[in-house]
């Protein structure tokens, strides 16, 4: 098969062995290229991986989940890449349907069905991110942060410069592909509880980072979704103050504050237009690279 399976790992000595054994038992080591990217683990993760017939890439220091995926994608030798977690949440059986769909889509997402394991403390944060994300892209989002998904390697390689080095690689890639009009396939999966150490994700700290990444991606691909509402709110505020000054307060002129707010609204609108033109040039450049 023309696919590379990329598995980022960080201090996963308790889980990575079972994950690789499952892949090898299913014959994936002969059907695909398996790359394990050790992101600066301080435990015996690299030694465990070294016992299996897979390709091991190593970071000298911990650089982040996204950085590990970037290393794997750049090192892959095939036309398609498939990323999966190393902590036991994804199994070899889940890969079959995704691989079958790969030739037909630029990205295929393993969509966690009802009953899949989820950390309860993260549900509210994920709901907020979904609401904001769906407003920004104007459509329903698939499982935007699922760690099991495949990409057309050239399509994702062209976007690595806007992908974060942290855990939000999955979320960012989903929004970027939607904004670029890429084709996205969905395959239902049943994610299992993770094995080994607790997750490094912290809902408060990392949720705020993800929201900022959402805004960053929209600024790159559809900035008017941010500037137009902001300009509208400021314009309505300034106009309301002006009406109050003339009608209610019976002033002979509009106050300086109202004029300032309305001018600021106009500036926001025109800055948004400029950002939108820059975004269009960026999209054209991305299309020419395909």
CB burial string 190-208: b at 16+ within 10 A, e below: bbeebbbeeeebeeeebbe
CB neighbours of residue 263 within 10 Å: 12
DSSP strand pairing (107-112 vs 55-59) = unpaired
Regarding whether 278 and 155 lie in a shared domain, the answer is no
Statement to judge: residues 240 and 144 lie in one domain: no
Q: Are residues 229 and 258 in the same domain?
A: yes
- According to the model, what pLDDT value does residue 248 have? 80
* 87 and 104 together in one domain: yes
Tens-digit pLDDT profile for residues 40-63: 999 999 999 999 999 999 999 999
Q: Do residues 160 and 235 both lie within one domain? A: no
| Entry pTM | 0.78
The beta-carbon contacts of 118-125 under 8 Å, at least 24 apart in sequence, are: 118/191, 119/199, 121/203, 122/201, 122/203, 122/207, 124/203, 125/203, 125/204, 125/207, 125/210
* Residue 140 and residue 17 in one domain: yes
Same domain, 195 and 269: no
Greater confidence, 253 or 235? Answer: 235
- Asked if residue 216 and residue 228 are part of one domain, the reply reads no
Residues 6+ apart with CB under 8 A from 154: 79, 290
- pLDDT tens-place string over residues 150-191: 999 999 998 898 888 887 888 889 888 887 889 999 999 888
Q: Give the domain range for residue 233.
A: 224-289
Question: Among the three residues 193, 221, 249, which one is the final residue of a domain in this structure?
Answer: 221
Q: What is the CATH number of the domain that holds 207?
A: 3.90.550.10
The residue from 200, 221, 242 where one domain ends is 221
Tell me: do 139 and 276 sit in the same domain.
no
Q: Quick one: 145 and 198 in the same domain?
A: yes
| Domain count within the chain | 2
Looking at the fold, whether 182 and 49 belong to one and the same domain comes out as: yes
């Amino acid at each position: 098969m023309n696919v590379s399976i990329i598995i980022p790992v960080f201090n996963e000595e308790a889980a990575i062995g079972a994950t690789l054994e499952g892949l090898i038992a299913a014959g994936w080591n002969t059907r695909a290229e398996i790359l394990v990217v050790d992101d600066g683990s301080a435990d015996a993760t690299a030694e465990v991986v070294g016992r299996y017939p897979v390709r091991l890439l190593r970071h000298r220091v911990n650089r982040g989940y996204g950085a590990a995926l970037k290393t794997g994608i750049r090192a892959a030798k095939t036309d398609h890449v498939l990323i999966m977690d190393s902590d036991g949440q994804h199994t070899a059986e889940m890969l079959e349907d995704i691989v079958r769909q790969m030739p037909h889509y630029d990205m295929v997402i393993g969509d966690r069905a009802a009953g899949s394991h989820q950390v309860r403390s993260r549900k509210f944060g994920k709901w907020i991110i979904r609401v904001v994300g769906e407003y920004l892209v104007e459509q329903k989002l698939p499982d935007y942060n699922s760690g099991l998904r495949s990409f057309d390697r050239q399509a994702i390689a062209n976007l690595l410069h806007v992908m974060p080095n942290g855990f939000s690689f999955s979320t960012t890639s989903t929004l970027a592909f939607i904004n670029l009009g890429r084709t996205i396939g969905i395959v239902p999966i049943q994610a299992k509880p993770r094995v080994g150490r607790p997750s490094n994700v912290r809902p408060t700290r990392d949720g705020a980072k993800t929201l900022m990444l959402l805004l960053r991606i929209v600024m790159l691909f559809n900035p008017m979704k941010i500037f137009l509402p902001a300009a509208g709110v400021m314009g309505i505020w300034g106009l309301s103050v002006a009406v109050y000054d003339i009608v209610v307060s019976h002033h002979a002129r509009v106050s300086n504050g109202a004029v300032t707010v309305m001018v600021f609204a106009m500036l926001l609108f025109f800055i948004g237009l400029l950002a939108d033109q820059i975004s269009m040039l960026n999209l054209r450049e991305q299309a020419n690279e395909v």
